């Protein structure tokens, strides 16, 4: 039951952010950058009865992932500003 709820909530959030980004790109980006997925994951881990240590380790993993995310987004932004194709920009961002 939890799996279906998680999938639906995730789909609704992604659809909502995408629609916002179509109308207001900057605000869509700000909302996309919010730690919504991390917060939902923490809540679902707790609801499923995971120990605090597991939730704590998950949170630390999210922190470790932030520098890579920042680098990827910065590279993609710079590439797109320099008129590179979207998929080329994403590829360069992932390689960095």
Distance CA 49, CA 82 (A): 48
- Tokens read off for 14: 């992604």
User: For residue 27, is pLDDT > 90?
Assistant: no
Burial 56-94 (b: 16+ CB within 10 A, else e): eeeeeeeeeeeeeeeebeebbeebeeeeeeeeebbeebe
pTM: 0.71
- For residue range 32-49, list pLDDT tens digits in order: 887 887 888 888 888 889
């Amino acid at each position: 039951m939890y799996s279906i709820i998680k999938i639906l909530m995730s789909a609704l959030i992604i659809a909502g952010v995408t629609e916002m980004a179509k109308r207001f790109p900057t605000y869509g980006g700000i909302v996309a950058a919010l730690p919504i997925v991390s917060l939902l994951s923490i809540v679902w881990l707790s609801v499923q009865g995971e120990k605090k240590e597991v939730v704590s380790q998950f949170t630390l993993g999210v922190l470790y992932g932030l520098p890579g995310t920042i680098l990827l987004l910065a590279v993609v932004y710079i590439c797109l500003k320099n008129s590179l194709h979207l998929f080329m920009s994403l590829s360069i961002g992932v390689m960095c």
